Amino acid sequence: MSMLQKNYTVLKEEDIHQHQEDDITTISTVLSVSRVAACILLRRYNWNVSDVHEEWFNDEERVRKAVGLPDKPTIQISNVEEVKCGICFENHPFDHINTAACGHPFCTTCWKAYISTSINDGPGCLMLRCPDPSCGAAVGQDMIDLLASVEDKERYHRYLLRSFIEDNRKTKWCPAPGCDSAVEYVVGSGNYDVTCSCNYSFCWNCTEEAHRPVDCDTVAKWILKNSAESENMNWILANSKPCPKCKRPIEKNQGCMHMTCTPPCKFEFCWLCLGSWTDHGERTGGFYACNRYEAAKQEGVYDESEKRREMAKNSLERYTHYYERWATNQSSRQKAFGDLQLMQSVHLVKLSETQCQPESQLKFIIEAWQQIIECRRVLKWTYAYGYYLPDHEQTKRRFFEYLQGEAEAGLERLHQCAEKELQNYLNADGPLKEFSDFRTKLAGLTSVTRNYFENLVRALENGLVDVDSQAACSKSISMVTAAGTSKAKNGKGKGSR
């Protein structure tokens, strides 16, 4: 949200390829090995140049053995007319024989079949070894380029490119559908939220959508809860009772207490006391009451089951409260994103013509919508934060709800100004002198809202440690809000609904 220096870099495919080639060149130069050998070493150590340097200079012989880079061939073949292939066991002319660094001879046909099968099996072909069962020599990219088909070579190079991202602890693919970009992150730099060039924001740590101020563990629990069967079970427990005969859950959808189980059971019973309906009638209170239940309740017979049902109902209502607001802010964010795209593609040009303003002078509107989208995301995740806030920390909860309420009110003011008040200028027949005041108001609300949400994020990420100084914090926030409102008033508008 803030304008701090980015701690990540977005990489396109050509950038990834260039980074990969640069690392190969570095290892090849420093260790005085071929580029093929350098590539094998980097794959073995997850494309970490420092690890390759450290391990190589610590024990070169052990590293060579581990990665399959013998310093000399195991088998020397002199210039003979024919050589027996180690796979098909047929004699072939010497110029039809190929070997890896180990020197084990195999004919071109068998090599091609071996390489093609390995590539078709998936990314494991990047760790391909000599076909000889007793040999661990690596099969490098030079053999692939020499013997593989065009299609197989393309697939191999695609695997190689992807391995640079997927095996590297500093890089990850953007999880947005259809996006081929990756993100290189400065590990240990703190904030995990990153935004790809496709405008998708995600958490680099867990690759879920960006979720500050909520931590990754809370997000995982919340997503699991939203998709789990646990809430279905809570609903069943809160809104149904088991048939006394077959134990299947029955939902009461009419006012009468006379229940009939579904076939093949068809057992008739009382909803309140779960007794057989044959024992009921006018003497037990009729169809809409059950004095047997009331009497048993007073005696404590149904206390435990009713308590469980009441707890389930309260739990479901609490979850529904937070989930509905979480989902509503998500919908508002998606709507705002669509409004931003419409503003950039259509309305900005129209506004520029109507108000006789160059588009470069209307960036404050785009910035307002971008801020709305970001704040909707933050506000959405504050509801997951609130759901998992411990019930016994009442002071902290009240402080949180106060901050959340103020944030929501400030965002609504900004959203209304950008959505409703802007329409007056979009629909105008010509330039309006009030547009300058509108610019001041919207820019002021954007700045105030940004500052408030940044403070909110910091407070929640710090676990609301300043809860004891709530009064001081409230006073500070009120002063900031008042300053922003004062700015907005210069634009002849209150900036609130």
| Cβ contacts of 139 within 8 Å, gap of 6 or more | 100, 115, 128, 129, 130
Question: Among 357, 348, 343, 346, which residue's Cα sits nearest to residue 431?
Answer: 357
State the Cα–Cα distance between residues 471 and 75, nearest whole angstrom: 81
| Cβ contacts of 5 within 8 Å, gap of 6 or more | none
Length of the chain: 497
Name the active-site residue from 107, 110, 256, 270.
Answer: 256
State the Cα–Cα distance between residues 21 and 234, nearest whole angstrom: 56
> How far separated are the first and last CA of the chain, in Å rounded?
25
Cβ atoms of residues 5 and 110 within 8 Å = no
Question: Among 103, 105, 101, which residue's Cα sits nearest to residue 93?
Answer: 105
Cβ atoms of residues 46 and 169 within 8 Å = yes
| Cβ contacts of 67 within 8 Å, gap of 6 or more | 40, 41, 44, 138
Does the active-site annotation cover 243?
no
Name the burial class of residue 113, with classes exposed (0-12), middle (13-18) and buried (19+) by CB atoms within 10 angstroms of its CB.
Answer: middle
State the Cα–Cα distance between residues 57 and 32, nearest whole angstrom: 12
Q: Which amino acid is at 480?
A: V
Distances (CA, A) of 14 to 38, 48, 176, 203, 470: 20, 20, 19, 24, 51
Task: Name the residues annotated as catalytic.
Answer: 256
